[in-house]
Structure 1
Amino acid sequence: MATTRKPTHPGCIIRHDYIEPLGLTVTGLAEHLGISRKHLSQVLHERSKVTSGLALRLARAFNTTPELWLNLQRKVDLWEAERDTPDLDKVSPLPGVAEDGTEAR
């Protein structure tokens, strides 16, 4: 496991870097994004994930890239999976596979 601190959820970034400084409301932002207030609230409270579709909407609204939002979500997902996948520590590289993932010669 590379990091012990959980990566920041995209919902936290939306709250602290956009909603608060721009004086937005959850209802207003949800309407602007074309999603339900309930769904946006779930993302903001880290109970829901940023999907590809939401990443596209956020990128347009905040003049960023969809990759930014998907990468933030991916980091959270992988961090959680490293802790929640049973017996992950028992899986090792297959014989003949080099450290960089290519076939060893």
Structure 2
Amino acid sequence: MRKRKPTHPGAILRDDVFPTLNITLDKFAKDLVITPQELNDLLAELTPISVILAIRIGALCGNGPNLWLKMQSNFDSWDGY
């Protein structure tokens, strides 16, 4: 059993992925086909990663959608969603 809450995938994007891209938040949002506000909400861990967004993030990062969906599922399961 886990002793710590899983990390929200938005935190991974914010802390690990976005800094390596060397692009603006507006460009990142445009690449993900979402608004800058939607991206800000995701990076602030206020919204979940949807299937379509997982596909887009996975394509942009080159790691596919499953990792992102699994992270979101683990995060949601912790809170009982």
Same fold (TM over 0.5): yes
2:29 — aligned with what? 30
Residue segments in structure 2 that go unaligned for 5+ positions in a row: none
Structure 1 or 2, whichever has the larger Rg, is 1
The one-letter code sitting in structure 1 at the alignment partner of 2:46 is R
> Once the 2 structures are TM-superposed, how far is the Cα of residue 31 of structure 1 from its aligned partner?
0.8
The CA RMSD over aligned residues, in Å, is 1.3
| Equivalent in the alignment of 2:75 | 76
CA distance in 2, matches of 1:49, 1:40: 11
Say whether 1:9 aligns with 2:8: yes
Structure with higher helix content: 2
1 or 2 for the larger relative contact order (CA 8 Å, sep ≥6)? 2
Gaps of 5+ in 1: 85-105
Percent identical residues: 35
- Note the C-alpha offset of 1:62: 0.8
> CA shift at 1:54, angstroms?
0.3
Match for residue 55 of structure 1?
Answer: 54
Count of residue pairs the alignment pairs up: 81
- Give the corresponding residue for 1:66: 65
In the aligned structure 2, how far is the partner of 1:45 from the partner of 1:75? Answer: 18
The one-character-per-residue Cα deviations of 1:48-74 (angstroms, maximum 9, x if unpaired) are: 000001001101111111000000000
TM norm structure 1: 0.72
In the superposition, the TM-score normalised over structure 2's length comes to 0.91
What is the CA–CA distance in structure 1 between the aligned matches of 2:3 and 2:29, rounded to whole Å? 33
* Shift, 1:21, TM fit: 2.3
Alpha-carbon distance in structure 2 between the residues aligned to 1:42 and 1:31? 15
Q: Which runs of 4+ in 1 moved over 6 A?
A: none
Letter in 1 for 2:52: G
Task: Name the CA distance, whole Å, in 2 between partners of 1:25 and 1:8.
Answer: 23
